[in-house]
């Protein structure tokens, strides 16, 4: 079994923060991200927003003219005298409204493209980065939390980009335009509006900030709950085997209760904000009507931007219309605060993933195809020859050396710990010559799997050296190193696709014939042909329709098709019954012939024929030798083999 990994805490997120707590750099970076992909579209959207905002305000101006220049004069002089002007104003208003509708339609269509395109770019960037991250990242981050970044956080950004930001920008422009026209009409009525609007913004800042904080907390709680659900789905058999259903329900209820609490608080505050603002807007509407009527009746002077004037009926009606528009606009802004906070929190988590440090690879030795000339010299070619080798460029001299890939592995005084304060391996030294079978035995946590992880360079060592064909593996490019190693893990992962696709995963350019031969080598061909569609049978849910042994056989065939010189078998037969194990073992013997093989096994009967057996205990090699040598020594291996000690 695999060694214990560091615990996987939830990835730190900005849960519980208000809009003010979110780093402003996140917003600026998000805007830059938008501009990089859709600069022309965003400029078009900005123009449409300006046109839409201005058209709404100008319409109220023409409403005032319609009343003061047409309707009121028409009452006293008759409508024949103002018919031309009335038609002109109505036609102009119609043109303005049509222009506003066209601008809004264009804005909506364009933002849909910008929003979905940006989400696509985000998902591409996240997945591209995820594929470059080291194994350590996935060992220390909850998988459900990472999934939440792809779903909940991107959805929060969709809401913010597609609706919240455009609405805030348009609302801000509308407020500026409306205030400008209000000042033109009446500074006294504008001052009254300012007092009410100031009160509305104060309430919005207070309640909106609280709503935003709980909205972000709700986002974090949702990520935790989804992570828990994912774990329960993957471990449902374990839950049922140990009758853990009630405990699982209690754990879920606790997470769900927290999500409910955060969601309730966020929506409770958000839902009372709009009614409060609407009622304040209604009060402002009444006050303006009373004050405007008072000024109109008394013909009170009005200090406007164009000089001294009077408040007319048209101005009062336009002012009331603009005040209603202004209060609704403030309400719209208040509703977007929590959405923007959630969007920025989601963007912060996404950028956190994108900014993760990728797996370092300072290697420069590459794996190439070679041909051997008659004089024995090796030469690189650009087609498959069946002869692989290392292309080693010596930086000191500029000389290129070619060395045949043989599978000679040496570890010298290796120390390692998953975390610096706790070492897992202590002074490990061993060698495996080409064609040798090296077995690791020992209790769980002794360090067996860790050794194979270091050979693959899933982790780098702080002390010691590992040499592959005489080359320090830190000099070998990681993809080339791993391409030369075949791995069969204890935990089988099968992907959605056909059986043939899953076998071909070991070598993407393998032919069907090569895949079938690999399956025969692993003794998987017989059961595969008995599947409903043979090699074309679709597998889903990690091969849930297959037995554990069948899944492992496909995994072995996948490693066999790659035809690597070095094989790592991490308890590959631990989940297979005795009869199947005998079949697999024969296939494995064929697979291992002529290769360097590292075997980790609890069933000591499977390692008897190993060239060397390493007995590990607490990260140290305490015994080494052949099966007969270790039995004769009557040490720890002898006690394990005879059952005096258990491996666990």
DSSP 63-132: HHHIIIIIIHHHHHH-TTTTHHHHHHHHHHHHHHHHHHHHHHHHHHHHHHHHHHHHHHHHHHHHHHHHTT
pLDDT at 301 over 60: no
Same domain, 239 and 379: no
pLDDT at 475 over 70: yes
Which range (46-50, 160-164, 544-548, 642-646) has the least confidence? Answer: 642-646
Residue 499 is part of a domain; what is its CATH number? 3.40.50.300
Same domain, 240 and 307: yes
Q: Under 8 Å CB-to-CB from 621, ≥6 apart: which residues?
A: 428, 429, 430, 614, 615
Q: Please choose, from the candidates 579, 533, 527, the residue with its C-alpha nearest in 3D space to the C-alpha of residue 557.
A: 527
pLDDT at 10 over 50: no
On whether residue 157 sits in a domain, the answer given is yes
**What does residue 581 show for φ and ψ, rounded to 5 degrees?**
-60, -35
The domain containing residue 229 runs over which residues? 24-354
Is the Cβ–Cβ distance between 406 and 566 less than 8 Å?
A: no
Higher pLDDT among residues 503 and 374, named by residue: 503
Residue 96 is part of a domain; what is its CATH number? 1.20.1560.10
Q: How far apart are CA 592 and CA 572, in angstroms?
A: 13
On whether residue 6 sits in a domain, the answer given is no
Q: How far apart are CA 615 and CA 613, in angstroms?
A: 6
Same domain, 303 and 380: no
Tens of pLDDT, residues 571-621:
766 656 666 666 666 666 766 777 788 888 777 777 888 889 999 888 899
On whether residue 16 sits in a domain, the answer given is no
Same domain, 375 and 420: no
Q: How far apart are CA 586 and CA 526, in angstroms?
A: 14
**What does residue 446 show for φ and ψ, rounded to 5 degrees?**
-75, -20
% the chain with pLDDT above 90: 10
On whether residue 220 sits in a domain, the answer given is yes
For residue 464, count CB atoms less than 10 angstroms from its CB and return exposed for 0-12, middle for 13-18, buried for 19 or more: middle
Same domain, 159 and 61: yes
Q: Under 8 Å CB-to-CB from 624, ≥6 apart: which residues?
A: 430, 612, 613, 614, 615
Tens of pLDDT, residues 158-203:
888 888 888 888 888 888 887 887 777 777 777 888 888 788 777 7
On whether residue 394 sits in a domain, the answer given is yes
Q: Please choose, from the candidates 410, 420, 527, 521, the residue with its C-alpha nearest in 3D space to the C-alpha of residue 473.
A: 410
Same domain, 83 and 195: yes
pLDDT number for residue 239: 67
Same domain, 179 and 297: yes
Same domain, 395 and 419: no
Tens of pLDDT, residues 603-615:
777 788 888 999 9
Same domain, 428 and 550: yes
Q: What is the 3-state secondary structure (H, E, C) of 397-464?
A: CCCEEEEECCCCEEEEEEEECCECCECCEEEEEEEECCCCEEEEEECCCCCHHHHHHHHCCCCCCCEE
Number of structural domains (the chain) is 3
pLDDT at 288 over 80: no
pLDDT at 72 over 50: yes
Same domain, 249 and 305: yes
Tens of pLDDT, residues 241-277:
556 677 778 888 888 888 888 777 777 766 777 777 7
pTM for this structure? 0.71
Same domain, 273 and 397: no
Question: Where among 346, 375, 404 does a domain terminate?
Answer: 404
Tens of pLDDT, residues 214-247:
777 777 777 777 777 777 776 665 666 556 677 7
pLDDT number for residue 473: 92
Q: Which two tokens stand for residue 33?
A: 């991200």
Same domain, 593 and 634: yes
pLDDT at 86 over 80: no
Question: Where among 315, 331, 354 does a domain terminate?
Answer: 354
**Residue 15 DSSP SS3:** coil
């Amino acid at each position: 079994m695999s060694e214990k990994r560091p615990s996987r805490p939830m990835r730190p997120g900005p849960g519980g923060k208000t809009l003010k707590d979110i780093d402003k750099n996140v917003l600026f970076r998000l805007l830059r991200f938008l501009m990089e992909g859709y600069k022309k579209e965003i400029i078009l959207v900005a123009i449409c927003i300006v046109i839409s905002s201005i058209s709404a305000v100008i319409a109220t101006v023409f409403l005032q003219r319609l009343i003061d220049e047409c309707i009121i004069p028409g009452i006293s002089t008759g409508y024949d005298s103002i018919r031309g002007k009335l038609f002109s104003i109505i036609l102009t208003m119609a043109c303005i409204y049509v222009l506003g509708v066209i601008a809004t339609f264009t804005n909506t269509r364009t933002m849909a493209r910008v929003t979905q395109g940006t989400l696509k770019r985000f998902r591409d960037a996240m997945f591209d980065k995820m594929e470059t991250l080291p194994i350590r990242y996935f060992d220390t981050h909850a998988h459900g939390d990472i999934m939440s970044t792809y779903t909940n956080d991107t959805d929060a950004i969709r809401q913010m980009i597609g609706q919240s930001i455009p609405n805030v920008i348009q609302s801000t422009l509308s407020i500026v335009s409306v205030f400008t026209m209000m000042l033109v009409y009446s500074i006294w009525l504008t001052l009254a509006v300012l007092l009410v609007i100031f009160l509305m913004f104060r309430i919005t800042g207070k309640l909106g900030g609280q709503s935003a904080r709980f909205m972000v907390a709700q986002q974090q709680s949702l990520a935790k709950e989804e992570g828990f659900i994912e774990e329960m789905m993957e471990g449902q058999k374990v839950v049922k085997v140990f009758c853990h259903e009630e405990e699982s329900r209690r754990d879920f209820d606790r997470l769900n209760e927290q999500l409910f609490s955060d969601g309730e608080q966020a929506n409770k505050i958000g839902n009372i904000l709009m009614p409060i603002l609407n009622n304040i807007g209604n009060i402002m509407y009444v006050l303006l009507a009373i004050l405007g009527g008072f000024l109109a009746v008394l013909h009170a002077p009005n200090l406007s931007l164009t000089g001294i004037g009077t408040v007319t009926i048209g101005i009062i009606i336009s002012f009331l219309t603009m005040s209603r528009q202004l209060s609704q606009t403030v309400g719209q802004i208040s509703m977007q605060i929590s959405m923007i906070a959630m969007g920025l929190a989601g963007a912060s988590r996404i950028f956190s993933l994108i900014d993760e440090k990728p797996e370092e690879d300072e290697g420069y030795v590459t794996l190439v195809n070679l041909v051997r000339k008659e004089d024995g010299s090796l030469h690189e070619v650009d087609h498959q020859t069946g002869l692989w080798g290392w292309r080693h460029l010596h930086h000191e001299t500029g000389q290129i050396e070619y060395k045949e890939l043989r599978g000679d592995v040496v570890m010298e005084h290796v120390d390692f710990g998953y975390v610096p304060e706790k070492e897992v391996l202590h002074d490990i030294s061993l060698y495996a010559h080409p064609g040798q079978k090296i077995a690791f035995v020992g209790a769980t946590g002794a360090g067996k799997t860790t050794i194979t992880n270091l050979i693959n360079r899933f982790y780098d060592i702080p002390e010691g050296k590992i040499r592959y064909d005489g080359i320090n593996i830190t000099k070998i490019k990681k993809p080339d190193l791993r391409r030369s190693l075949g791995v069969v893990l204890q935990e089988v992962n099968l992907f959605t696709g056909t059986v043939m696709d899953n076998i071909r995963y070991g070598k993407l350019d393998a032919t069907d014939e090569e895949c079938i031969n690999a399956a025969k080598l692993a003794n998987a061909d017989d059961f595969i042909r008995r599947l409903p569609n043979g090699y074309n049978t679709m597998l889903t849910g990690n091969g849930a329709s297959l037995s554990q042994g069948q899944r492992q056989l496909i995994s072995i065939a996948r490693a066999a098709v790659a035809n690597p010189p070095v094989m790592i078998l991490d308890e590959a037969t631990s989940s297979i019954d005795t009869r199947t194990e005998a079949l697999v073992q024969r296939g494995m013997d064929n697979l291992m012939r002529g290769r360097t093989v590292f075997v980790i096994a609890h069933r000591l009967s499977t390692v008897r024929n190993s060239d060397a057996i390493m007995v590990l205990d607490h990260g140290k090699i305490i015994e080494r030798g052949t099966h007969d040598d270790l039995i004769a020594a009557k040490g720890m291996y002898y006690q394990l083999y005879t059952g005096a000690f258990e491996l666990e």
